[in-house]
Amino acid sequence: MIPPTLASTRYNFPGQTSMIRGKVRDIYHIDNDILVMIATDRISAFDVVLPRAIPYKGQVLNQIASLFLDATASLVPNWKIAEPDPMATLGRRCRPFEVEMVIRGYLSGSAWRSYKNGNRNICGVKLADGMREHQQFKTPVITPTTKATQGHDLDIAPQKIITKGLMTKEEYQQIEEYTRKLFDFGTAWAKERGLILVDTKYEFGKDENGQILLIDEVHTPDSSRYFVAETYQQDFEKGERQRQLSKEFVREWLMANGFHGAKGQQVPDMSDEFVMQVSERYIELFEKITGQEFVKTVSTDLHSRIEQHIVHYLNTSVRPTD
């Protein structure tokens, strides 16, 4: 039996001014300065939301992101205020930059697919001939993308980010520094737990005081790719598939079933067995990356539970005089 999932939400919180539905998160604005981000169980791949929700995925994403927001707060300021529910985070509302900072330690995923097709320049980063899939870069490379609310994100070079006015030169330099600090931290954290942080993405915004903050998720399986360190070198030398804990296996399953995200393509049916395999992968990553046992927050009515927790927090901690 498939456990209950949260595919979407529709709340009316105290002080709520607006709501935005992202690919996998539902975002509520409170009093114009507070943001409630709910990690649903939706899953996306190739920038398409798949038809079935994944049990416990939202809880996994929210709790991993919350852990890393706390762990990196002394390195990079972030938006988080509290975690009122295992599937929800409350924080400062920011104006997001329309750029995602992708940083790669290895030639994998979309970067490898582009390289295999002959591209030797990704976002202004020149790559040498003769590289192999999953080969480690001498120094992690930053390959930013535009931030699309619909459709595909597109690679964009740093200079173009500045000339298009998406960031000033000073903002980009600060955000690049933050990106490298976060990746170094995540790399060291993963190494201690027998994993390799292959690549990841970070998002940033400005609060009402003009401070640049890290926003959204951090080092989750939706935003990051992890390899198993113990078998990496052997698999790389043999040219075999890497053991990895990420969403890439979902993309590979889709491609094997004829779906590449192209316009007009039909998403293949997801069986109960496959849905539970995806759920188990997310839980496995949680336990590997945190070193903690995943405690399933079981609820027959996820929607009501989350609402009660958030309303209680808002009424007691954010808007206690209302």
Q: What would the pLDDT profile of 135-175 be if each residue is shown by its tens digit?
A: 999 999 999 999 865 555 788 999 999 999 999 999 999 99
pLDDT at 239: 94
pLDDT at 148: 62
- Quick one: which H or E segment has residue 191? helix 169-192
The percent of residues above 70 in pLDDT, for the chain, comes to: 97
Residue with tokens 């852990």: 67
Q: What would the pLDDT profile of 42-86 be if each residue is shown by its tens digit?
A: 999 888 899 999 999 999 999 999 999 999 999 999 999 999 999
Domain 1-93+270-322 = CATH 3.40.50.1100: no
Q: Cβ(309)–Cβ(9) under 8 Å?
A: no
Q: Which two tokens stand for residue 293?
A: 């046992």
Residue 148 vs residues 13, 23, 91, 268: alpha-carbon distances, Å: 27, 10, 22, 24
**Average confidence score pLDDT of the chain:** 93
- Rounded Cα distance between 5 and 298, Å, is 10
Mean pLDDT of 254-265: 90
Q: Cβ(39)–Cβ(24) under 8 Å?
A: yes
Q: What would the pLDDT profile of 200-217 be if each residue is shown by its tens digit?
A: 999 999 999 999 999 999
- Quick one: which H or E segment has residue 34? strand 34-39
Q: What would the pLDDT profile of 182-204 be if each residue is shown by its tens digit?
A: 999 999 999 999 999 999 999 99
Strands 195-206 and 212-215: antiparallel
- Rounded Cα distance between 136 and 134, Å, is 6
pLDDT at 244: 82
Mean pLDDT of 287-296: 94
- Rounded Cα distance between 70 and 237, Å, is 37
Q: Nearest-CA neighbor of 77 among 220, 188, 170, 207?
A: 207
Domain 95-246 = CATH 3.30.470.20: yes
Domain range annotation of the chain: 1-93+270-322, 95-246
Q: Nearest-CA neighbor of 27 among 92, 114, 106?
A: 92
- Rounded Cα distance between 248 and 129, Å, is 25
Asked if domains 1-93+270-322 and 95-246 share a fold, the reply is no
- Rounded Cα distance between 257 and 266, Å, is 10
Q: How confident is the model at residue 304 (pLDDT cuts 50, 70, 90)?
A: very high
Q: Nearest-CA neighbor of 20 among 48, 6, 40?
A: 40
Q: pTM for this one? A: 0.90
- Rounded Cα distance between 94 and 121, Å, is 32
- Within 8 A by CB and 6+ apart from 230, the residues are 194
